[in-house]
Structure 1
Amino acid sequence: MTKQISLNALWDSALSKEQAFGSDRLSHLPEAARRYLEHAIAPGTAIASAVRLQMHGEIKLKSWIPFKAEQVICWERGLIWSATAWMNGLPIVGSDRLVDGVGAMQWKLLGIFPVMIASGCDITRSAVGRLQAESTWLPSVFCGDDVSWTRMDSSHLHSSFVVQDQRAELDFTIEQTGRLKTVKLPRWGNPEGAEFHDVDFGAIVESEGTFCGYTIPNRLRVGWYFGTDRFESEGEFFRATIDDAIYR
């Protein structure tokens, strides 16, 4: 079995682009897209290719249980989310990952007894959807020439780009200040426990914070069936607060 890359190794592999953000980079974009990016990235901030996040929150298995986690998103390679959750006082330790086009999940009770081990094409495709959604923690990726924007109205934007050989179609809701309120996309998954298919997936941004010149969602609610009543009743499964973020 090939040894899995560590979170630290993924972070160390990130390359600095040695470019600084400025409004002149956005002159060709719709006004709403410029508003979002000018809010999300301070002038002169280095254009990052990776972010390392510390977070805590709750995840819904059969019930809501607390977790603490560290995550690296390296845009060229993927992501690793390494966490410990507690069920009935016992730790469940593991990771979700997508690295170099391969997705996997591995979780063990007490770090010993397998709780969930999953891989394969469906897991990889779903993990790519997660990377697409979590691009909002790395707003610099939206400055690339390969990202196309469509303005729906003054508060709704559509962004399209390719990552890990899959096209992302993200819908943003933003305030007049440029603050992000929601993000929505079709994501490959099986929340019903049956066959995988595209499901509306998204996040409600409850607050934001500024780290190293980037203003990103720092408290949010995430889940399936986004934009419908089912989100509240059965789709929401992840609530996170970002405690710290560093960029490279």
Structure 2
Amino acid sequence: MRVIRTKQLSLDALWDSAISQDRVFRPDDFAHLPEAVRRYLDHAIAPGTAIASAVRLKMHGEIKLKTWIPFTAEQVVCWERGFIWSATAWMNHLPIVGSDRIVDSVGAMQWKLLGLFPVMTGSGSDITRSAAGRFQTESMLLPSVFCSDRMSWTSLNSSHLHASFMAQGERAEFDLIIDQKGRLKTAKLPRWGNPEGAEHHYVDFGAIAEEEGSFCGYTIPTRLRVGWYFGSDRFEAEGEFFRATIDDAIYR
């Protein structure tokens, strides 16, 4: 496969680089896992569904930049390589166009007013480490990754699951809360960041899944509230910064 430098890689190129797997979801293959894990997988993936290595999403919502502003976005999550989130947000009726990404363990963000004037850029080790945490969180939109033998599962009780895995060079300690049907309610992990504007450190980061929908045999959250200080009062007061509705998803 032709190697494309990360900063030049397009959303289409990342999607095209996804490799289809010759495997389908069979619930019996996971009989050895804790009951709560099986319940989650059985709800999230229909029997016979091809095990996907990537998802392409269309979404809209609001992002908090001092005030809440609307956005539309398209995103590709390719488990072997990373993600690109390409969006347009509107501030004072002017478009801010750009992307957040991590591809092949290199993270970056770049945003431009009118697509011309830089308003926010970032790269380096802290950006990469933080982007890795976002990538790990968004595994909930690609449930097939939880079928991997590289996942280490613990079931703390009938509704609380813990998955430990490596992705983009970072260890994820991912907590999922599900209901009795296996529907995902919340997801949380320690993510590298600096929401206070000071030095980077690990902060509880997570998402509340308010609605779900099914696409191509996968059932995923379709309305999400996301932010820092997850699980504390600070999430509601100051940590929440991203609200998204998934409009469409295709899997490869």
Residue 55 of structure 1 deviates from its aligned partner by 0.2
Are residues 1:160 and 2:186 paired? no
Q: Hey, what does 1:33 align to over in structure 2? A: 37
1:2-21, aligned counterparts within 5 Å? 3-21=7-25
Q: Distance in 2 between matches of 1:127 and 1:175?
A: 29
Does the Cα contact within 8 Å between 2:194 and 2:201 map onto a contact in 1? yes
Q: Hey, what does 2:182 align to over in structure 1? A: 178
SS in 2 for 1:124: helix
Unmatched runs of 5 consecutive residues or more in structure 2: none
Q: Hey, what does 1:116 align to over in structure 2? A: 120
Instruction: Give the alignment partner of residue 200 of structure 1, picking from 204, 210, 231.
Output: 204
Instruction: Give the alignment partner of residue 55 of structure 2, picking from 35, 51, 55.
Output: 51
Task: Supply the AA of the counterpart residue of 2:48.
Answer: G
Q: Distance in 2 between matches of 1:148 and 1:28?
A: 12
Q: Distance in 2 between matches of 1:3 and 1:67?
A: 22
Task: Supply the AA of the counterpart residue of 1:153.
Answer: N
Instruction: Give the alignment partner of residue 27 of structure 2, picking from 23, 26, 45.
Output: 23
Residue 24 of structure 1 deviates from its aligned partner by 1.5
Q: Could you tell me the TM-score, scaled by structure 1's length?
A: 0.99
Q: Hey, what does 1:72 align to over in structure 2? A: 76
1:74-223, aligned counterparts within 5 Å? 74-223=78-227
Does the Cα contact within 8 Å between 1:25 and 1:143 map onto a contact in 2? no
Give the fraction of aligned pairs with identical amino acids, expressed as a percent. 77
Does the Cα contact within 8 Å between 2:85 and 2:100 map onto a contact in 1? yes
Does the Cα contact within 8 Å between 1:19 and 1:47 map onto a contact in 2? yes
SS in 2 for 1:230: helix
Task: Supply the AA of the counterpart residue of 2:54.
Answer: A
Q: Distance in 1 between matches of 2:36 and 2:151?
A: 14
- In the TM superposition, what whole-angstrom CA distance separates every residue of 1:19-64 from its partner, at most 9, and x where no partner exists? 1101012111100000000000000000000000000000000100
- In the TM superposition, what whole-angstrom CA distance separates every residue of 1:42-91 from its partner, at most 9, and x where no partner exists? 00000000000000000000100000000000000000000000001000
- In the TM superposition, what whole-angstrom CA distance separates every residue of 1:156-208 from its partner, at most 9, and x where no partner exists? 01001111121110001100000000001000000001100000000000000
Does the Cα contact within 8 Å between 1:150 and 1:157 map onto a contact in 2? yes
Residue 3 of structure 1 deviates from its aligned partner by 4.9
Q: Distance in 1 between matches of 2:28 and 2:51?
A: 14
Which aligned runs of 4 or more in structure 1 are off by greater than 6 angstroms?
A: none
Residue 10 of structure 1 deviates from its aligned partner by 0.2
1:228-247, aligned counterparts within 5 Å? 228-247=232-251
Residue 2 of structure 1 deviates from its aligned partner by 7.1
Paired positions, count: 248
SS in 2 for 1:153: coil
Task: Supply the AA of the counterpart residue of 2:65.
Answer: L
Distance 1:158 1:2, change over 3 A: closer
Task: Supply the AA of the counterpart residue of 1:65.
Answer: I
Task: Supply the AA of the counterpart residue of 2:219.
Answer: T
Task: Supply the AA of the counterpart residue of 1:42.
Answer: A
Does the Cα contact within 8 Å between 2:6 and 2:103 map onto a contact in 1? no
Task: Supply the AA of the counterpart residue of 2:27.
Answer: S
Q: Distance in 2 between matches of 1:109 and 1:135?
A: 30
